[in-house]
Structure 1
Amino acid sequence: MILRFLMKRFFQMSLLALSVNAIAVTQAYSQDNNKNEFVPQWAKKAVWYQIFPERFRNGDPSNDPKVDDIKGADPIKQPVQWRIHPWGSDWYELQDYERVNKAANDEHEISTHLLRRRYGGDLQGVIDKLDYLKDLGINAIYLNPVFDSPSLHKYDAASYHHIDPNFGPDPVGDRKLMAQENPLDPKTWIWTKADELALELIDKAHQKGIRIIFDGVFNHMGINSFAFQDLAKNQENSDYKNWFTVISFKDERKGTEFDYQGWFGVKSLPEFKEDEHGLVTGPKQYVFAATKRWMNPKGKGREYGIDGWRLDVAYCIAHGFWKDWRQLVKSINPEAYLTAEIVDTPENVKPYMQGDEFDGEMNYNFAFTAAEFFFNPEKMAISPTEFDSKLAELRSLYPQGVAYVVQNLFGSHDSNRIGSHIVNRGIANFRDWQDYFTTSQAVINPDYKVSKPTSYDLQLQRLFTLLQMTYVGAPMLYYGDEVGMWGANDPDSRKPMIWSDIKYQAERYNPDGSVRSPDKVTINTSLKQTYKQLIAIRNANPALSIGSYKTMLADDTKNVFVFEREHHTGTFWVLFNNSTENQEISLSYLKSKKPDLLYGDADYTVLDKELVVNLVAKSGAIIRVN
């Protein structure tokens, strides 16, 4: 969600660390520990790819937004000049039309211009790149919001039952059709060309073995929404007067102005009214109707609909609503996957994961823990035994198979990209979400480094990716991770995707307009190959997705960590040398079969019933031992 720096500060979780220089082996963790699972089984084998549609691929330039299409989005003030922004341009460099607006409107904040930009990404662009995703090994897509909205991010929905017309082939025609409907009567809802294109995307993805989930933003809508527009016009006489939390209606006799509650005070995001059970009747019925529309389109069957939902700011809506909504979703498709955005301590996440609300979550606590181990400067870093302890706590947090389906991510549209996080390692505590959110925004913090990650930085990224692809839970890439994209937090984490058929200017401008040494913007083919290789290993070996887990070694002296993933189809040891020196790792080896190195630059031998592995600094390996 945008403007995350307005969120409440979360308390830091405390853990009981193991003693320094200890070598620890934790209790094995497996699906056998979790009976009566409620999670969809396919989600355990998912390799997720998060797509921010406006910035992924412009597959149809004829549907590019016009200036009138962005009215109602931040920044509210209309520009003097505007046009679609060049896809391959230098991110912080103002184009000619932006320089006109800067002078005419006294707009000196770079963030104003970045928020107003549109690059033309659309659903045809996603369809065109399904083969790219399939080749990478992706089998599940999380789409950031695609519903009708004037903003680049679409978290300010104008409706939930229509795809944004500029994501489809006929924006003008679609808007004429939409104007004929009664939004309160689903029987009048029309399938626009953009809606039909979304169904085509779902169908073509399914044909390639790729599942798709939509982003559900049900806590609030935008000021362009049909409900809020009617409320603002008709005030107390509106059919939607009980949909939103109105503070005061406009009344000239009383001298009051129209006022309402926005999400965390953001007036462009009017919040739905809630009672102790969650959303009140009007918006609840609308959300339920829209849910049915996209999960069983045209009544043709669930196989034609989306495969689940990611729920934005789920913590902002009372538990009762989510319990009722889950029952609806699962009645349509028992195998639908529901994942929540709840950036909070593990204990505060736990109540949402009990089988009556969500199947999983965007696992930011996994990202926080991994960053503390792999990326933090030495004085701030946690030891292997502390790392093991924190991971064990997260596994024990989830009941009934949830640990196997949570989305293990690092970066997203709401954080800096993994490469830039590494460049700026130590700038703040990632786990302190509110503070880190603002500190990692280069448009706010002049000390944030916007330069390209070095080869050493990318080696650290590879270490994390090894963990991400072999650990318990479903890995989730943010678009462009695999090709080495970098960027500070929102809005800089939302740059246009790098494609081989587009020429990109080098990045030489800073957020303040000053010039730096240019950074070439190209696909990092070596990093992409690492992602592709590790995803292929995960997809080919069930032990890495559904197998049991056991920590084998956590050595604080050598700064090495080893765990085992086991399944009846094979046993795998995953080794990490997190130190700045080469390390020798010795593990008891009683198996008759010779071990097989699947990944990593490592030398190994079997001597006297011990497997001895030599790993270079800041590297890892996967060894098949059975």
Structure 2
Amino acid sequence: MKATIYHRPKSEDAYAYDKSTMHIRLRTGKNHVRKVNLIYGDPYDWTKNQWVTSKKEMTPTGSDAQHDFWFVEVTPPYRRLRYGFEIITKTETIYYGESGFLDTPSKDTSDYFCFPFMNPADLFSPPEWVKDTVWYQIFPERFANGDPSRNPEGTLPWGSAAPTPTNHFGGDLQGIIDHLDYLQELGINGIYLTPIFEASSNHKYDTIDYLKVDPHFGDKTTFKRLVDECHKRGIRIMLDAVFNHAGFYFPPFQDVLKNQQHSKYSDWFHLRDFPVRAEEPPNYDTFAFTPFMPKFNTENEEVREYLLNVATYWIKEFDIDGWRLDVANEVDHAFWREFRKRVKALKPDLYILGEVWHNSLPWLAGDQFDAVMNYPLTNAIIDFAGKQKIGQQRFEHVITQLTHMYPIHVQQVAFNLLGSHDTPRILTQTDNDVARVKLQFLLLFSQRGTPCIYYGDEIGMTGGQDPGCRKCMVWEEEEQNQELLSFVKRLIQLRKQEKAFGTEGDLTFVENDSSLLIYQKTYENQQLLFVINSTDQPDSVQLPVSWTNRNANDLLTGETFSLATEIVIPAKSAMVLK
């Protein structure tokens, strides 16, 4: 039993939530422990040679296949803490601290875990506005053509062909401005733009000039107008920073190809030997193995200053609200620490979002990113409600693991998504089953974090892996799925109207003997009950006793009715009861 017990101080298991509050977690073996108490006190608080301690019961916060998780919130009077755990099973009581396991509570503070001091400078402080933001990701070349005079040579009529890695349809910044009414009506208050800087491709991840808007998209005047129009509507703007690598035609790299080891930029990149050969496989580090995207050497001082100047320029000149950092996990941590200092000095509430697809705690300690793209949540939702690869119990276990992977305030600003320019369309992944797409959107919007819609997913657009997921936005209403659009609008409304629905609500799974997924979300005195049937058959379930024989409102339909002890949920549908 002892081998299953785990706690790590100054981590996701013990952290300052704000200037006065500490969160502490413990992991134990599944069903091994009946009760856990936290024993804690100030390390310098002694009376008559006795250390003064308090005891507080911990709350169970979920289970996965192997573990139970426990949580407690405490307020250290002097912002420092020594603490340990009193662990009670059916047969024994043991005490766990930094020195290991003891049969009786130690009187020596060195046997306890230590949180030395809650320094405000160490506090993870993400922008508050992000918690209430619903994002919309736009791939500018495919959203709308607002200024045909900027069309590149060979531009195709809008939506007239399947997307390829090289074709163009003329999407631009003016097209986005022209459709801000649509986004505002949808309920969007944050726009994430994939790169807008000058580049040779249609995706613009191969930058030529980081200080210039790509002429196919517009110019700086157009971009300034876009930001201003968005801010008038309460919509934030986040740009894509491609700082891991440059494009093939980036002038310093072209200088390297021309002058080789004599180039003054030869240390700007990771070159293995000379002559530098732009062929596959390249003899220099790149994004993946793409010779057209040479990787920056961010340990070079000139490179660092160049990129940091780019990061601050777009804030100072255009008042952008966020940076999404491409391939962020391949750039050194020292660079990101300096990046955060520079941009936060200009705009303290700027949102810093890293593209990291795996456990990202090393970047989320308050000194680098505010959040990462939450692809583990994406995969869990799709596998459960979309592809039926996992059942209700496995989904609960995965969500519980994700819930305990990061501190709560990290989760509250996590960037949650179902699809992006890097993944197949959610409707295509779900075999064109709109009912399943609805369930996935419901799961997305009811989790902690800030949700993002990939342009067109709300109207049922389809498409496979890149470039298939980058079709032209469909603007003809008769070709849009209006039922799905209305459903997504309703979810956005609920997230804004019901505090328990979104990031502020604490989620607790409800055990049941059916195949249904049931969870309760709580915020202060408000409670919502989510009942989701992701199977192809109707199913019935016994409601928790606290919910039976009460009048309830289904927030998805507006229907009000009296709850029976047992309710039936049709196949591929859900209820959200208030």
TM-score, normalization by structure 2: 0.76
Over 3 Å counting, the alpha-carbon distance change for 1:527 and 1:606 in structure 2 is: closer
| Partners of 1:407 and 1:545 in 2: CA distance | 13
Q: Which has the larger radius of gyration?
A: 2
Q: Distance in 2 between matches of 1:270 and 1:550?
A: 44
Matches within 5 A, 1:15-414: 26=62, 36-66=123-153, 83-91=154-162, 114-168=164-218, 194-250=219-275, 260-273=284-297, 278-297=298-317, 304-344=318-358, 346=359, 349-377=360-388, 381-414=389-422
1:417–1:485 CA contact under 8 A, matched in 2: yes
What is the CA-CA distance between 1:619 and the residue it aligns to?
0.7
User: Against the structure 1 CA distance between its residues 350 and 132, is the aligned structure 2 distance closer, same or farther, given a 3 Å change threshold?
Assistant: same
Kindly indicate which of the two structures has a greater share of residues assigned to strand.
2
Identity %: 34
User: Per-residue CA shift, 1:397-456, capped at 9, x if unaligned?
Assistant: 112501111111111111111111111xxxxxxxxxxxxxxxxxxxxxxxxxxxxx2xxx
Given the alignment of the two structures, is residue 576 of structure 1 paired with residue 520 of structure 2, yes or no?
no
Indicate conservation of the 8 Å contact 2:551/2:562, yes or no: no
Q: Tell me the distance in 1 between the aligned counterparts of 2:150 and 2:74.
A: 51
**Looking at both structures, which has the greater relative contact order when contacts are Cα pairs under 8 Å and sequence separation is at least 6?**
1
Q: How does 1:446-595 map to 2 (within 5 A)?
A: 453=432, 457-500=433-476, 522-555=479-512, 557-568=513-524, 570-585=526-541, 586-589=543-546, 594-595=551-552
Aligned to 1:429: none
**In structure 2, what is the Cα distance between the partners aligned to 1:394 and 1:532?**
27
How many angstroms apart in 1 are the aligned matches of 2:488 and 2:124? 30
Matched, 1:420 2:420: no
CA drift at 1:604: 5.2
* Contact 1:137–1:539 (8 Å) recurs in 2: no
Paired with 1:212 and 1:613, the residues of 2 have a C-alpha distance of 44
Deviation at 1:592, TM superposition (A): 9.9
| TM-superposed deviation, 1:279 | 3.4
Q: What amino acid does structure 1 have at the position aligned with 2:139?
A: F
Give the aligned CA root-mean-square deviation in angstroms: 3.0
Unaligned runs of 5+ in 1: 1-14, 67-82, 93-113, 169-193, 252-257, 298-303, 424-452, 502-520
Q: For 1:595 and 1:489, locate their aligned partners in 2 and report how far apart those are by CA, in whole Å.
A: 42
* Greater fraction helix: 1
Give the CA deviation at 1:537.
Answer: 1.2
1:619 equivalenced with 2:576 (yes/no): no
Cα deviations by residue, 1:179-235 (Å, 9 ceiling, x for unpaired): xxxxxxxxxxxxxxx122112111111110111110111011011112212222333
3-state SS of 1:49 partner: strand
- Aligned-pair distance for 1:265? 2.3
- Counterpart CA distance in 2 for 1:350 and 1:162 is 34
CA–CA distance in structure 2, aligned partners of residues 370 and 138 of structure 1: 22
2:159–2:169 CA contact under 8 A, matched in 1? no
On the 8 A contact 2:159/2:471 being kept in 1, the answer is no
Contact 1:549-1:563 at 8 Å conserved across structures? no
Mapped partners of 2:72, 2:269: distance in 1: 43
Q: Which ranges of structure 2 fall in alignment gaps of 5 or more residues?
A: 1-26, 32-59, 64-68, 76-117, 277-281
Aligned equivalents of 2:30, 2:321: Cα separation in 1 = 41
Q: Work out the CA distance in 2 between the residues paired with 1:575 and 1:32.
A: 29
Q: Residue deviations 1:520-551, cap 9 Å, x none? A: x9211111111111111112222223423232
Distance in 2, matches of 1:311 and 1:229, equals 24
Tell me, yes or no, if the aligned pair for 1:38 and 1:400 is still in contact at 8 Å: no
Moved more, 592-601 or 577-586: 592-601
The answer to whether the 8 A contact 2:137-2:191 is kept is: yes
Q: Distance in 1 between matches of 2:517 and 2:61?
A: 10
CA distance in 1, matches of 2:549, 2:410: 35
Gap change, CA 1:309 and 1:227, over 3 Å in 2: same
2:62 match: secondary structure: coil
Contact map agreement 1:25 1:553 (CA 8 A) in 2: no
Paired residue for 2:22? none
Amino acid at match of 1:355: G
Q: C-alpha separation between the residues in 2 aligned to 1:362 and 1:29?
A: 26
Query: How big is the shift at 1:622?
Result: 1.4
User: Which residue of 2 is the match for residue 69 of structure 1?
Assistant: none
TM-score (norm 1): 0.70
Equivalent residue letter for 2:217 = F
Q: How many residues align?
A: 469
Q: In the alignment, residue 562 of structure 2 is paired with which amino acid?
A: T
